[in-house]
C-alpha cells in the first residue's frame, strides 16, 4: 500500500532526474561557510530570543514531575502533553511559536499551572543552548525529555533542493537530529540531577518505521541509508553523499535518532537515566505531512484506515507516547517500543485487539549497528561543538529546585 502511494506521489512530482541534475550544480558548489553567511542574516532578524520568559508559568512546581516536549504545539507532541497533564505532570513546551502553543493549550483546556511555554528552534544550535539556559536560570526540573519535533520535506522544490541553517547544516538533519542531540547534551545535567533525587528520569527520542529497513514502510524508496557518514561529517546535504532527496533526508534523520538512543544507552547505562525510542503507529492525519502533496494527504489516511489497518489517531498516539514516558512497564532502558495494533505489522493490525500494550520491537540491523552509532555520536559531537557530552558550559545565576517529592 505504501509502495502504491509513494509511486503515485512520485509520478505527480517533477522529474527527479531533472532536479537532481540541477542539484549537482546548485548544491555542491556553495561551501558550508557560504550557507552560513546566507542564512545568518535571516536568523538574526527572524528568530526570537529563546531566553524570552515563558508565556505561562515561568518555572515548574517542584511537587510535580516535569516533562520537556519538543514540538508540543501540534500533533503527537500536543496530544502527549494533554495525556501527561491529565496524569498530573507539568509540561514544558519547547516550541517555535508562542501564540500557537497558547491557542492550542486553550483549546485543549490545559490548566494554567500545568504547562510552561519556551521558545526553542531546533534548527538553531544557539536557540537550543539559550532554551536550556532559560530552564536552568528559572530552576526548572527535568524528569523526562521527549525529543519529538520533526520536519519532513517530501514534495515540491524542497524535496530536490536542500536548505541550510545558519549553522551550515541541511535543514531536516539539523531540526530532527542535530538539534535534539544538542538538546540532550544541554539538559543532561538536569536529567542526572533528577536521577540523583530518585525520580527515575527518562530520555525519549522518537523513531520511525520509515527509518527501519526491516519493515514494509522502510523498504519504500528512497530508503534510509547513512553510508559511512562522511557526508554528514563534511557538510554534504545527505549523510551518504547521494543526490539530495527531502524524503530520504527525513528517513536518514530518524535513523540517526534511533542510533543516538542506542549509543546513549551504551555510554550512560549507569547514569540512572532511562533511554528509549518508539514508533507510535501511523499517524496518517498529522501536520508532519503538511508539506506533502494533496493527493497523498487525501489517499494515505484512507489506505491506512481501510487497507493496512495501521492508522492511529493523534490522540491515541499521544497516549502511547505518554505511556513510554511514565509507565513502570516501559522503564527498561535501551528499548525501541511499538504496538501490535495500529503498528507496522499488517497481520497483527488485522488480528490484534490489544492496542494499548507496548511491546519491545526489533529494529533493523542498521539501527543495531553499534559501530555506526558510535561514529555518528562522535561526528555529532564535533558538529555541535561538544567537547564532553553531558557537561555543557555552566550558566550564571542558575538555581536548582530539584525535589525528592
Coil/strand/helix, residue 203: strand
**CA atoms of 51 and 78, how far apart (whole Å):** 22
- What letters, b where the CB count within 10 A reaches 16 and e where it falls short, cover 240-250? bebbbbbbbbb
Dihedrals phi, psi of 41, to nearest 5 degrees = -65, -40
Helix H, strand E, coil C: the string for 229-298 is: CHHHHHCCCCCCCCCCCHHHHHHHHHHHHHHHHHHHHHHHCCCCCEEEEECCCECCCCHHHCCCCHHHHH
- Whether omega for the bond prior to residue 404 falls within 30 degrees of 0, making it cis, is no
Annotated catalytic residue 250: yes
Cell 485487539 belongs to residue: 353
- From the candidates 19, 152, 250, 336, give the one annotated as an active-site residue: 250
Cell 526570537 belongs to residue: 48
Q: H or E element: which one contains 336?
A: strand 335-339
**CA atoms of 257 and 237, how far apart (whole Å):** 17
**Percent helix / strand / coil, the chain, rounded to 5:** 50, 10, 40
**CA atoms of 269 and 45, how far apart (whole Å):** 41
Burial class (CB in 10 A: 0-12, 13-18, 19+), 373: buried
Q: Residue 48 carries which DSSP code?
A: P
**CA atoms of 112 and 99, how far apart (whole Å):** 15
Task: List the catalytic residues.
Answer: 250
Amino acid at each position: 500500500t505504501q509502495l502504491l502511494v509513494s509511486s503515485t506521489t512520485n509520478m505527480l512530482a517533477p522529474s527527479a532526474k531533472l532536479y537532481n541534475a540541477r542539484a549537482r550544480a546548485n548544491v555542491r558548489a556553495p561551501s558550508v561557510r557560504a550557507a552560513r553567511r546566507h542564512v545568518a542574516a535571516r536568523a538574526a532578524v527572524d528568530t526570537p530570543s529563546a531566553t524570552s520568559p515563558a508565556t505561562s508559568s515561568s518555572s515548574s512546581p517542584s511537587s510535580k514531575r516535569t516533562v520537556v516536549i519538543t514540538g508540543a504545539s501540534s500533533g503527537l507532541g500536543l496530544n502527549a502533553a494533554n495525556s501527561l497533564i491529565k496524569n498530573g505532570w507539568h509540561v514544558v513546551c519547547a516550541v517555535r511559536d508562542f501564540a500557537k502553543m497558547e491557542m492550542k493549550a486553550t483549546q485543549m483546556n490545559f490548566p494554567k499551572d500545568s504547562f510552561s511555554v519556551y521558545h526553542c528552534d531546533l534548527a538553531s544550535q544557539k536557540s537550543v543552548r539559550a532554551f536550556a539556559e532559560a530552564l536552568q536560570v528559572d530552576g526548572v526540573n527535568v524528569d523526562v525529555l521527549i525529543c519529538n519535533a520533526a520536519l519532513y520535506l517530501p514534495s515540491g522544490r524542497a524535496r530536490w533542493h536542500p536548505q541550510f541553517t545558519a549553522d551550515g547544516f541541511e535543514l531536516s538533519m539539523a531540526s530532527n537530529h542535530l538539534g535534539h542531540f544538542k538538546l540532550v547534551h544541554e539538559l543532561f545535567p538536569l536529567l542526572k540531577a533528577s536521577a540523583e533525587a530518585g525520580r527515575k528520569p527518562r530520555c525519549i527520542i522518537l523513531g520511525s518505521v520509515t527509518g527501519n529497513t526491516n519493515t514494509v514502510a522502510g523498504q519504500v524508496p528512497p530508503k534510509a541509508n547513512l553510508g559511512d557518514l562522511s557526508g554528514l561529517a563534511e557538510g554534504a546535504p545527505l549523510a551518504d553523499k547521494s543526490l539530495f532527496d527531502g524524503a530520504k533526508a527525513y528517513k536518514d534523520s530518524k535513523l540517526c535518532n534511533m542510533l543516538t538512543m542506542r549509543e546513549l544507552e551504551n555510554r550512560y547505562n549507569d547514569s540512572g537515566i532511562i533511554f528509549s525510542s518508539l514508533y507510535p503507529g501511523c499517524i496518517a492525519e498529522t501536520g508532519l505531512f503538511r508539506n506533502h502533496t494533496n493527493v497523498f494527504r487525501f489517499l494515505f489516511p484512507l489506505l491506512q484506515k481501510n487497507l493496512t489497518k495501521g492508522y492511529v489517531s493523534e490522540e491515541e498516539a499521544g497516549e502511547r507516547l505518554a505511556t513510554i514516558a511514565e509507565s513502570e512497564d516501559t522503564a527498561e532502558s535501551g528499548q525501541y517500543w511499538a504496538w501490535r495494533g495500529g503498528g507496522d505489522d499488517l497481520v497483527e493490525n488485522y488480528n490484534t485487539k490489544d492496542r494499548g500494550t507496548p511491546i519491545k520491537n526489533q529494529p533493523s540491523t542498521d539501527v543495531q549497528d553499534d559501530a555506526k552509532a558510535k561514529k555518528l555520536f562522535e561526528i555529532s559531537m564535533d558538529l555541535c561543538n561538544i567537547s564532553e557530552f553531558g557537561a555543557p558550559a555552566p550558566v550564571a545565576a542558575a538555581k536548582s529546585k530539584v525535589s525528592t517529592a
